[in-house]
Structure 1
Amino acid sequence: MPKPYPSEFRDDVVRVARNCEPGVTIEQIAKDFGVHPMTLQKWLHRAKVDEGTAPGPSRTESAENRELRQRVRLLEQENEVLRRAAAYLSQGAGCSECETRTMTVRRAVRFVGDPRRVALAWGCGSDRPAPGSIDVHVVVTRLPDPSA
């Protein structure tokens, strides 16, 4: 995939295209700057959207949506880990082949990678978090890969 054009270059080309004299086509401007005419059309449309004169999400809204989707994905993984912890705790004793560590829930998801292979249990009574605590320390058990 080709490297994207710098934003300063895009802004300059859009400014030139908007301020061009009558009779000068988008194709001519695009050729002068060495970009494809459709690329320039997309840049012009994106500039209108960012200004609010055309419908659609602006760049800042798109970036915010992307961040929120990542956050939702992380929270869904953490929720899956906690669901598996409840299932694990209801089974009783653990497996002798499991690897056990103490860490926060968020680090537990990163440690194991696949939330389907995680089981959580509280550590000793002194490890229990204070009410309203965000980082909960738990014992993380990496279960054997079920496909192996």
Structure 2
Amino acid sequence: MAAPRKYSDELRARAVRLYRESNPKPVMKRLAEQLGVHPEALRNWIRQDEADHGERPDQPSTVESEELRRLRRENAELKRANEILKAASAFFASELDPTRRRS
């Protein structure tokens, strides 16, 4: 389970909106201090918002990240199921083997 978020979604949205609507763009460190958040957190929020708006092709959007996370979980689950089926198959194959000596 993920750790609880330190900053609320409302604060994140407000911080990104303030940065985007400011002209000229404020220094992130100063804006972060005014909002009471860590400057690196603000920078990450802004980068993610830019990715979500298609302004950063080098970073996946939130939707893409969530889909990738879901697919990785599903892949791990399918691998576990496959290992269980392989073990069961080997067990039943050995039980049905006519050359196997019965005691």
TM-score (norm 2): 0.79
CA gap 1:87/1:30 in 2 versus in 1, 3 angstroms: same
Identity of aligned residues (%): 34
Q: Does residue 1:70 correspond to 2:86, yes or no? A: no
How far apart are the structure 2 equivalents of 1:84 and 1:44? 48
Matched residues, number = 93
Amino acid at match of 1:82: L
Q: Which runs of 5+ in 1 are unaligned?
A: 94-148
Give the match's secondary structure for 2:24. coil
Over the aligned positions, Cα root-mean-square deviation in angstroms equals 2.0
How far apart are the structure 1 equivalents of 2:88 and 2:25? 68
Whose helix fraction is larger, Structure 1's or Structure 2's?
A: 2
Q: Which runs of 5+ in 2 are unaligned?
A: 97-103
For residues 62-100 of structure 1, the C-alpha deviation after alignment (integer angstroms, 9 at most, x for no partner) is: 11111111111111111111111111012228xxxxxxx
CA gap 1:53/1:6 in 2 versus in 1, 3 angstroms: same
2:39 corresponds to: 37
How far apart are the structure 2 equivalents of 1:67 and 1:35? 29
How far apart are the structure 2 equivalents of 1:24 and 1:58? 24
CA gap 1:79/1:2 in 2 versus in 1, 3 angstroms: closer
